[in-house]
Structure formats: structure tokens, C-alpha cells
Amino acid sequence: MYNSRKKPLEEIPEELTAIWSCTNDSCKGWTRDNFSFSVQPICPLCQSEMVKGEKMLAVLVNTSPSQTKK
């Protein structure tokens, strides 16, 4: 799909990111898979089960050099 609107030069790069999304259709809850869940996470919004999926998200750029990696 192409966006016909002209965009400014600065683009936020996006990449397919692993996420967990809520199984509840009426809930939009999801979370990045940044945490090493040992068990299936529970939706913080509605306490439903979550399923692993993928989503196009803006790439997180670390602006602070002191951030520690886990």
C-alpha cells in the first residue's frame, strides 16, 4: 500500500517486532516481547490470555548511552 500524502524526510524506521497480543477481541492490549516471559503473559488490561504475534513498530533508538541491556 502506498501513501499518496507527501511525507517529510525524516522517517521513523519500522521493523517487524515480536509482540504479545490480547486474545480478547474487544481489547486492544498488547505488549512488546522485550521481556523474557517464562510463561504466557496475561493481558494487563483485561487479564485475558495473550498470544504471540508480530507487529510493525517504530524501531526503538537508544538515545541514552548509559542504558543497560538485559
**CA distances (Å), origin 21, targets 16, 37, 43, 59, 61:** 14, 14, 8, 18, 23
Q: Does 46 bind Zn ion (CB under 5 A)?
A: yes
C-alpha dihedral over 51, 54, 59, 61, to 10 degrees? 30
Closest approach of Cβ 40 to Zn ion, in Å? 13
C-alpha cell of 9? 524526510
Closest approach of Cβ 3 to Zn ion, in Å? 30
Q: Which region, judged by CB under 5 A, interacts with Zn ion, from 1-9, 21-29, 32-40, 62-70?
A: 21-29
Give the binding site for Zn ion (CB under 5 A).
22, 24, 27, 29, 43, 45-46, 48
